[in-house]
Amino acid sequence: MALTLADVEKIAKLSRLRLSAAECENTLAELNNIFALVEQMQAVNTDGVAPMAHPHELALRLRDDVVTETDEHQRYQQVAPQVAGGLYLVPKVIE
């Protein structure tokens, strides 16, 4: 897919950009180079290639899954205005 100068001018107008004739020519060349690169990438056969989450094969350093905080549930509920069945009761705000 190749753009024309009219396409670039229309894109500039829609983007509310004021481009000189030289800038339009430059932008046209750059956009057409981008589209050519995309076409090259689309031509690559990727059958059988699994999607990757990251381009480098890195092992994540994970910490041990251990509890580091103590259970303060009872203490927090002691200062709450209303509690029932281990849940905080709040006033109804939507009717």
Residue 28 CB neighbour total at 10 angstroms? 19
As averages over each run of 10 residues, the pLDDT of the chain (95 residues) reads 91 95 95 95 91 81 89 92 93 87
Q: How many residues does the chain have?
A: 95
Largest CA distance in the chain: 73
Residue pair 32/3 in contact (Cβ under 8 Å)? The answer is: yes
**Partners of 84 in beta bridges:** 87
Residue pair 5/28 in contact (Cβ under 8 Å)? The answer is: yes
